[in-house]
Amino acid sequence: MTIKSLITDPCTGIQAHVNDGDECNALIVATRPLKTFTNKLSFFTSDDYGINMNQNAGTGGTPEEVHDGIDSVLWTASDIIGGGKSTFNSTDQNHTAAGTKSIKNDNSPIGDVFQFAKGSDLDCNGYVSLSMWVYVDKDWKGGDSISIYGWDTDTATQIGISVQLENYFSWANYDVWHKITIPLTDMGDVDVSTTLDALRVSQDTAEGKAPKYYLDDIQFEETGTPIDYIVKPEAGTVLC
């Protein structure tokens, strides 16, 4: 049984033509870009400083130290969900010249959570950002996501929102220490919390095997909020 079919433009009624020349029978179609792009020079700008990037965004003041691989006695680290994939005093890697240890996490299953507990409430109004150093040994891929968030152990409730570490450093650059600085305002209510007494780290997603990475020198910073410089598209346009 043969079904006759025609490719026809519903607006003009024009039918597509079939080329039956020497090569093969095939539709004659036109190929052209759907969109036309225009190159334009744009500057990254800050709401506070314009295009001037000569600004000091360094941290300072007296930090609240959270964890440094137990080189010092600071907040208490423990596994909350899962476990066995975190070593809180690993000697494999270390960021601080004066120390020898860091926190190792190796191929955690999705849903694993570990915690740093202060043992008392921290008034976050005195701090502006959370900083840490991260070292990726292997296997961090585009589908991997690891988050950190505030916690109140007294009420067993999350403080603010979780943020994904991969949004704050070049995760694909392996075997080097990267500094992460997260404004507390990115973490929701954390920046005004007076009841936060813990931080939790969660393996949210994994693309195949989860990464092996190290964390060191985690602390709340008293001064030194990161400065954002952004390029935005004009109204009614798309920036590609």
pLDDT tens, position by position, 62-93: 999 999 999 999 999 999 999 889 999 999 99
The confidence score (pLDDT) of residue 20 equals 64
User: What is the spatial distance between Cα 221 and Cα 130, in angstroms, rounded to a whole number?
Assistant: 6
1 has pLDDT over 70: no
Domains of the chain, by residue range, sit at: 64-221
Identify the weakest region by mean pLDDT among 23-32, 53-62, 154-163, 204-213.
Answer: 23-32
The confidence score (pLDDT) of residue 77 equals 98
The confidence score (pLDDT) of residue 240 equals 75
Q: 64-221 in CATH: which number?
A: 2.60.120.260
User: What is the spatial distance between Cα 194 and Cα 173, in angstroms, rounded to a whole number?
Assistant: 36
* Percent helix, percent strand, percent coil in the chain, to nearest 5: 5, 40, 55
198 has pLDDT over 90: yes
Gap between the terminal Cα atoms of the chain: 49
Which of 108, 179, 102 is closest to 139 using CA atoms? Answer: 108
Residue with tokens 């500057």: 43
Biggest distance spanned by C-alpha atoms of the chain: 84
pLDDT tens, position by position, 90-130: 999 999 888 999 999 999 999 999 999 999 999 999 999 99
**Is 125:194 a contact under the CB 8 Å cutoff?**
yes
Model confidence at 226, pLDDT cuts 50, 70, 90, reads confident
Which 3 state secondary structure label does DSSP give 124?
helix
Which 3 state secondary structure label does DSSP give 12?
coil
The confidence score (pLDDT) of residue 22 equals 62
User: What is the spatial distance between Cα 148 and Cα 187, in angstroms, rounded to a whole number?
Assistant: 9
The confidence score (pLDDT) of residue 238 equals 79
